[in-house]
Each structure stands twice: as C-alpha cells, then as structure tokens.
Structure 1
Amino acid sequence: MPRSKPYQPSLLRFLHGVNALIALLAIITAFWVYNTFDGRLIKLPLPEINDIIGIHGTFGVAFLLMMPAFALYSFHLGHKRLVQSDSLTKLTQIGKPIWWYSLHRIVNTVMLIAATWALITGRMMKEEWLPIGELDHIWYQLHLAGWVILVVCLIMHLLLSIKVGGLPLIVSMFEFNYRPEDSPATWLQQIRSFFSRS
C-alpha cells in the first residue's frame, strides 16, 4: 500500500519558505563577505561585488524582521517538529525510525538557535571592521561561528528530512495547494484556536 502524500500547514509553508529564501541569500552573501575580506581557511575565485557587506546586511535585516514570526510558529503551532521532553532518551534507540525523528527535531531546534545567534552577533558587528582588516573582534568570530553552525544544521536538516519523509516530504513544503480549512484566510483563527487551547 503506497504511503499517503504528506501535507504541511499552509502557514508553515509560507513562513518556512520566506525565511528559508532570505536565510539562504544571507548565508550565500555571508560567505561572499568572508571570501572577500577574510578567506583565512578557504578562498574561492569569486568576483568582487561592490558593497557586498551592505547586501549581506540587507538580507540580515530582512531575516531579522521575518524570523520572529517563524520562531513563534515553530515554538507554538509547530512545536512537535522541535525537541520534545523525551527526545534525548529516544536517541538511545539508534537506527530505529524514532531515532531519526528525534535527531531531526534536535537539528531543527539547534538551527533556530543558530539563526538567532547569527542575527544577534551580526547586529553587534560594525561594517568598517572587515574592510580595514580588523578580523579579531569577538562579535565577528561569534558571527562566523554562527554561520558555520547554521550551514551544518541546514545540510543536516535537508538530509534528515529526506531520511524521515523522503522526497514527498521535501516536495510537500513547496506545494501551493491547500485544503479549504487551511486557507490563508484561516491563519489568524488557527493561531487564536491554538492559544485558546493552551
């Protein structure tokens, strides 16, 4: 019997999609900034872009504006996709489906924390540091570490999504169709219903 096609709530798909796009652009431009002004560990022959720091900062500000809505959704309506009280104990069941689901939830949670870390440390940086070669500021080092953790989490998130749900799960996050009871017109009601039950 074929597995049923997964369905993702339309509000999750919207918030996830917008945040994923902005975060991906911020991640790419972050590497471009690193490659242009630092490049101590890896340097690629990328063309220089005027005001790449400003471009990265623009995506950072856009992410800062959109991330709180996604975080609120994730920790409330989407809390089952994050760490559960028994997630760590279920990690003892190595190789079983619950192990993969628990690991996926942990990675999702760490990814939200890493994104928040990257946003906070990015806001603490000054644009003039890198162009004048000041690479040893603690906020830059922390921002760089946040970027690395975010990239690792993103890769793990994609791989674990494929592992726990296969290609249908990935595709379901990019579908435009929605059920009548899950139309965008019901988003506010969904939020109200959740908080009235809490």
Structure 2
Amino acid sequence: MLKLYDYSRSGNCYKIRLLLNQLEIVYQRIPIDILQGESRTPEFLAMSPVGKTPVLEISPGQYLTESNAIIYYLAGGSDFLPTDRWERAQVMQWLFFEQYSHEPNIATVRFWISILQQAEQRREAIAQKQQLGYAALEVMEQHLTKHDYFVGDRYSIADIALYAYTHVAEEGNFDLSKFPAILGWCNRTTRQPKHITISAT
C-alpha cells in the first residue's frame, strides 16, 4: 500500500490526496506536523533530504518527493495525463509554471498570513509576493477565458496542480473576485467526480 507523508494544510500535499481519491487508490496517510519540526527529524530527512512534504512511499525504501513529480507518477496511464505528446508537454509547462511563478507567491503568502499569523511582521515581503501572485493569476485568467481547463479542454493534473493553492488564495488576502474565469474554473473543478476538499481526511 502507498504511504503518503503529508501536512494537512499544505496545498502541495492536497494535490496528492485529491488525485489519489479521484483515482480510487487506497493509501495510508501519515500526518507530518511541519510546525513542530517533524519534517526535520533524521527519519524524515532520510526520506526527503530537503525536509519537505509531501513524500510518497511507493514501496519500502522507495520514496518520491516534489508534489508535481508525485502527481505525474500517479497519473501515468490514466485520463488525468494526456497520451498525446504535445498535450503532455503542455501539462508539464503548467506544472513548471505552478511551481515557479504561482506557488512561491500565492502559497507562501497564505502560509505567512493564515498559518503562521505573521501578516504584520512580513508586510513588505507579502506586498512584493502578492504583486507576483496577481501576475500569475492574470496569466491563468487569460488562458481560462478561452478554455474550460488548462490542457486539451479536459480536466488533468495541470488543473489539480493549479487548483490546490488557487482555491485557497483568499487565505493569503488575494481577491479572486477580479478573476471570473478562474472562479468558473474552480467551480468546474469542484464538480469533478470524487472531488475532496483540502480539509478532508
């Protein structure tokens, strides 16, 4: 059985839980409290040298890290990952965008404000990251004004990756009302079969 080591409020971890549920794959979930240093223990660092969740244990001693690598691995051979070479490259394009332009800004601000409760202490850094976060949301908005989903006009791991932190962006004080196409896409995503919320166990 697969084992998922994750932090419940992490969008990166939520991606994995959402896809596993939609693939109907049974797995064991092992909570890791990053705020209590549980991702910095020698045991955890042996699985994830960078000390980050999520970690997927595929078999004893075989660990996969980085959320988008994990969903790419899990989606292989399923409808969540296109077989067409061009569409598969587009999926990768959005996965890289999510980790480089989207997650470092939207997720980080959410973490500082809603999880660490450090809005005042990090006010200047938050303002800088919010500007970059809004730029990423604008890229998504422009794409979604012409497409229902990010690749091939059907739901894929590109949508899962981007939905994870977008749908909770308001916890980082991002105003999603400015992005009607994103809100429509979020609504379509929640209607996908076997959808679960980020707070679901």
The higher radius of gyration belongs to: 1
Q: Same-fold call, TM > 0.5?
A: no
TM-score, normalised relative to structure 1: 0.32
More helix, by proportion: 1
More strand, by proportion: 2
TM-score, normalised relative to structure 2: 0.32
